[in-house]
Amino acid sequence: MQLADHFDVLLKDTVNLSQFKLETLETRVNAIYAALTADATIGAMISGKTPQGSWAHRTIIQPQKGKEFDADFMLDMEENPDWSTSPKTYIDEVYYALKRHPKYGQMPLTRKCRCVRVSYANDMHVDIVPHVILSGWREVIVNRDENIWEDTNPQGFTDWMKKQDQIAGGNLRRVIRLIKFLRDHKNSFTGTRSILLTTLLGERVSELSKMIDPSCYSNLPTALRTIVTDLDEWLQARPNRPSIADPSGSGVTFDHRWSDETYSYFRDRIHVHAAEIEDAYAEPDKDRSVQKWQALFGDGFKAPAGSGPAKFAPAAPAKETTTGRSGRAG
């Protein structure tokens, strides 16, 4: 059964990052940004900031107990011709600016491949990603490990996400949150980074699916079933790790984000989870359906507090799998 009201409770009470934490994140990012713009060395180079990743895409989730959550933001910086032969200088200088600061200099700071990380004890960390528009309007971030520029188009990715979410009736972002939660809750396919999940799930959404079945994204459980089933079909047609292009059109791929081993494990686990989702969705008995959904998502999957006898929709007929449907959105 669909039990859409149970999914609403699961998202609100268990999966979604709380409003308090979202507000804390914004406050901390604003404070970091103020510290960097006030720095005597790099402050004049900074022209703005933009949320990045799951924060920007509204797919950020509550971390598992004892884990911290993270958020990224782009630090817009002007090009410095003196650093043109050493892109990693941008990350180094952001790091040094924070080290000079009376507050952040006392906090754990780490230089990563593409960012500077500010860690807050037992709570969260913020990744600061230097973002530069080079001469010729080339938009880049830094790969510090290789000391090179990497092309990027963060606004293009965000625009693509918005378009795909609109096709899915606003349910794509919620499906992505559920799958990220499933990964963490079940400790399943943990080697698959969020950017890959977001891209692979988003690419399965299509207008063609709606033409074939106008109800395929009609509510959250139906969209979950449709998108994960389509992802499973796409993966099963690809026993070897495929190349995953950035859908923003930047020209880069996300292939470095996983290995043959992590792809194979992800492919196998999605196959299992797709069958579990189909089983829970198609189960005609309400109590057994709840139990099957809870086996996937835990005890947070429950009816709204104070609700009367549950009103639920019967499962839609099982989709026919044809060769022509597999991989259509990829």
In terms of average pLDDT, the best of 58-67, 284-293, 299-308 is 284-293
Tell me which residue has tokens 């609403």.
Answer: 8
- Confidence (pLDDT) at 15: 97
- Indicate the pLDDT class of residue 325, thresholds 50, 70 and 90: very low
Token digits for 19?
A: 């409003």
CB 330 within 8 A of CB 234: yes
CB 258 within 8 A of CB 192: yes
Q: Where in the chain are the domains?
A: 4-14+156-297, 17-153
The closest alpha carbon to 19, from 57, 62, 53, 48, belongs to 62
Cα 70 to Cα 228: distance, rounded to the nearest angstrom:
25
Look at 58-72, 172-186, 287-301 and tell me which has the smallest mean pLDDT.
Answer: 58-72
pLDDT at 324 over 50: no
Helix (H) or strand (E) holding 61: none
- The alpha carbon dihedral of 209, 210, 215, 220 has a sign of positive
Give domain 17-153's CATH number out of 3.90.1210.10, 3.40.50.10490, 3.90.550.10, 3.30.460.90. 3.30.460.90
79: exposed, middle or buried (Cβ count in 10 Å: 0-12, 13-18, 19+) = middle
Give domain 4-14+156-297's CATH number out of 1.20.120, 1.10.8, 1.10.1410, 2.160.10. 1.10.1410
Token digits for 200?
A: 């692979």
Beta-strand relationship, 116-120 and 138-143:
unpaired
pLDDT at 319 over 90: no
Report angle CA 210, 272, 295 to the nearest 5 degrees: 95
Query: pLDDT tens for residues 19-78?
Result: 999 999 999 999 999 999 999 999 999 999 999 999 999 999 999 888 888 899 999 999
Query: pLDDT tens for residues 97-114?
Result: 999 999 999 999 999 999
- The alpha carbon dihedral of 117, 118, 120, 121 has a sign of positive
Cα 111 to Cα 116: distance, rounded to the nearest angstrom:
5
pLDDT at 330 over 60: no
As a whole number, the mean pLDDT across the chain is: 92
Instruction: State residue 284 phi and psi, 5-degree precision.
Output: -80, -20
In the chain the first and final C-alpha atoms are separated, in Å, by 29
- Indicate the pLDDT class of residue 317, thresholds 50, 70 and 90: low
CB 170 within 8 A of CB 72: no
Cα separations in angstroms, 301 against 118, 138, 229, 287, 294? 34, 46, 21, 12, 6
Query: pLDDT tens for residues 258-272?
Result: 999 999 999 999 999
Whole-prediction pTM value?
Answer: 0.89
List the beta strands (DSSP E) in 53-170.
Answer: 69-77, 109-111, 116-120, 124-134, 138-143, 148-151
Cα 263 to Cα 235: distance, rounded to the nearest angstrom:
9
